[in-house]
A = this chain, B = another copy of it.
Amino acid sequence: MSSFIANTKDMQFVLHELLKVSNSDVPGYEEMDRDFTEAVLDAAGKVSSEVLAPLNEVGDKEGCVLENGVVRTPKGFDKAFEAMKEGGWTALDCDPEFGGQGMPYLLNCAVGEMFVSANMAFNMYQGLTHGAYSAIHTHGTDDQKQTYLPKMVTCDWTGTMNLTEPHCGTDLGLMRTKAEPQDDGSYAITGTKIFISAGDHDLSDNVIHLVLAKAPGGGEGTKGVSLFIVPKFLVNEDGSLGERNSLSVGKLEEKMGIHGNATCVMNYDGAKGWLLGDLHKGMRAMFTMMNEARLGVGLQGYAVAEAAYQEAVAYAKDRTQGRDVTGVKAPEKAADPIIVHPDVRRMLMDQKSFVEGARAFTFWGAHLIDRSHALNDAEAEGLISLMTPVIKGFLTDKGFETAVSAQQVFGGHGYTEDWPMSQHVRDARIAMIYEGANGIQALDLVGRKLAQDGGKHVMAFFEMVKAECKSHDDDERMKPFTDALKNASKQLQTAGMFFMQNGMKNPNAALSGSYDFMHLMGHVCLGLMWTRMAKAAFTALDNGASDTAFYEGKIATGRYYMARQLPACAMHLARIETGADPVMALADDQF
């Protein structure tokens, strides 16, 4: 049984002492004062602990079942989903015009983190709906918005994204699903889509599928692809539900984890669909949601790690085994709690320093998305576009690694399904794969984002890091942070330079190092976050903050990250600088 408790204290620190949200010029942020966000976070934390977390194990053990063409979710999911709807948690950052509460995306992310920590599989039902909501909100006609959005904001109807087909995932140009124009202006959609999260279930009255398909006349590859709204039940003029559309669940996937979420094979047999956005511009419509969707997956990466970390800390304090080599700590017991052992502490510090750094990084990213939307801030848009593959790729790789490390603290007990650790590891694994496998994130970063707008955004990032370091020149206490950050940033620049010098004549020289570059950049980003957090903590202490344990702990955790994680940067650079040769040396049949 999970004992998850949302770390609202750290979230408040990031919102108010790192991002200083209520002083921001982003419209809507002025209302985000400490008391307000505390109230929201506390309420969401209560839902996480009391409603979602108790169902996490149930979802894993029971899974979803396909019976007579209908998907049944695990016991209790329906009531919990009702509670989420009633609490308004599905509508937090949605447009008030359609019943949303119009709060910043950033706050939605903070709340989302808790929900994912408590029950990742459950939270995907509303998460996918949010993605579909955003697509219709951005690209839909007024009519489409009026028809679908109010019901999707409340999650009375849920949504899905249909991209993948059995023979194509990354390479959507190979898509076979067809859309044939009908006389009534609709399209007949025919084809098979796989890996459709929340593809069908018993939590909502209708499921609004967004389906990528090829309509005639669009040309080869992804150019011919359009996006369609394909509801499970057709919607009558008066908004009531009409007949069942010609679509069905072909199969539920048996998966390594996220058993509580229904991953469906969807068959479309001439299903009625309506064009969303421009004809043959479906990829573009889909990709406008990409930054948010990928940030959401990066968030899953560290949110599951947070839940696993909490379990590991509790276990390490409770489990007694062996004695502290520097002197007995619990003489009244036959052994000391294992948290006394340096190697257990190493694992816990790895976990803590990652999760807190990742939270700051993700919240910062969400803040950039708010900026770019609300202020049309091109710099913020460019920066988050650059950061998105790093947030997704780095945080999910490290999130999985963190869950594995937390499981390790439990010894053999962590391998049994009596404890929640196996589930955390199995759940965390998917985040490295879906929404663009992490190798694709690295390709996006190195092959597209670095050079975007003439390399302007990555240069701006380097300048930002430089300015950050410079701003602490007068604070001797910051030296361990700024020295390590400068060094790491220099290594990142050297790697970028290597790509520029070698990638032109041989693209493989850059692509062979793309994955290492993504990790190197991830470390620089978390190093930047820790530098900022350390300064915020020193400032709080300077100002006489009473909670010295929290702020001193924050600084010590940051020092750990800088001292023990940033040395990975040199390794990544060394690998990058070996270029394409070691990677490409073998012929296919030498493998």
Q: Point out residues on A near B: beta carbons under 8 Å.
A: 164, 167-171, 173-174, 194-195, 253-257, 313, 316-317, 320-322, 325-326, 334-335, 337, 339, 341-349, 352, 400, 404, 407-408, 411-412, 414-418, 422, 425-426, 429-430, 432-434, 437-439, 442-443, 506-508, 511-512, 514-515, 549-550, 552-553, 556-557, 559-560, 563-564, 567-568, 570-571, 574-575, 578, 580, 582-591
Q: Which chain B residues lie closer than 8 Å to A253 at the CB level?
A: 416, 418
Name the contact of A414 in the complex, choosing from B320, B433, B550, B563 (C-beta under 8 A).
B433
Closest Cβ of chain B to A322, distance in Å, is: 5
Q: How far is the CB of A535 from chain B (nearest CB, A)?
A: 18
Given known A-B contacts A417-B256, A438-B408, A583-B560, A325 and B571 have beta carbons under 8 A apart: no
Minimum C-beta distance from A107 to chain B (A): 27
Please determine whether B567 and A412 come into contact, CB atoms closer than 8 angstroms: no
Q: How many copies does the complex hold?
A: 2
- Judge whether B256 and A411 touch: CB under 8 Å: no
What's the minimum C-beta distance from A88 to chain B, rounded to whole angstroms?
A: 33
Closest Cβ–Cβ distance, residue A94 to chain B (whole Å): 29
Residues from chain B with a CB closer than 8 A to the CB of A415 are: 255-257, 429-430, 433
Q: A342: which of B335, B584, B590 is its contact (CB, 8 Å)? A: B584
Closest chain B residue to A61, Cβ basis: B254
- For A329, the closest partner residue in chain B by CB is B588
Q: Closest CB of chain B to A278's CB: distance in Å?
A: 25
Task: Give the Cβ gap from A350 to chain B, nearest Cβ, in Å.
Answer: 10
Contact B583 A321 (CB under 8 A): no
Q: Are B570 and A322 in contact (CB under 8 A)?
A: no
14 contacts between A and B (CB under 8 A): A254-B416, A255-B422, A257-B415, A325-B508, A326-B508, A339-B588, A343-B511, A345-B584, A346-B515, A400-B404, A412-B434, A550-B590, A563-B582, A567-B575
Main secondary structure of the interface of A (DSSP, over half): helix
User: CB-CB < 8 A to A552: which residues of B?
Assistant: 590
* Cβ contact within 8 Å between B586 and A553: yes
Task: Known A-B contacts: A170-B322, A342-B583, A400-B404. Give 9 more (CB < 8 A).
Answer: A167-B320, A325-B508, A326-B506, A342-B580, A347-B439, A348-B591, A415-B430, A549-B590, A556-B586
Chain B residues in 8 Å Cβ range of A585: 556, 559-560
Query: Quick check: B349 and A583 within 8 Å, CB to CB?
Result: yes
CA distance A444 to B335 in the complex (A): 19
User: Nearest chain-B residue to A343 (Cβ)?
Assistant: B439
Min Cβ gap A312→B in Å is 9
User: B342, A549: Cβ atoms under 8 Å?
Assistant: no
Q: Is the pair A339, B591 in contact by a Cβ cutoff of 8 Å?
A: yes
Chain B residues positioned under 8 Å from A422 (CB to CB)? 255-256
Contact of A514 among B195, B343, B433, B574 (CB under 8 A): B343
| Set of chain B residues within 8 Å of A583, measured between Cβ atoms | 342, 345-346, 349, 560, 564
Q: What residues of chain B lie closer than 8 Å to A417, measured between beta carbons?
A: 254-256
**Contact flag A575-B564 (CB < 8 Å), given A255-B416, A439-B347, A591-B313:** yes
Cβ–Cβ < 8 Å partners of A317 in chain B: 588, 591
**In contact, A574 and B567 (Cβ under 8 angstroms):** yes
- A514: chain B residues within 8 A (beta carbon): 342-343
**Residue among A349, A417, A437, A439 having the largest count of chain B Cβ atoms under 10 Å:** A439
Q: How far is the CB of A7 from chain B (nearest CB, A)?
A: 11
With a cutoff of 8 Å between Cβ atoms, the chain B residues found around residue A400 in the complex are 404
Contacts of A171 in B (CB 8 A): 320-322, 335
Q: Which of A313, A417, A433, A570 has the most CB of B within 10 A?
A: A433
Closest B residue to A549 using CB positions: B590
Cβ-defined contact, A443 with B343, below 8 A: yes
Q: How far is the CB of A277 from chain B (nearest CB, A)?
A: 25
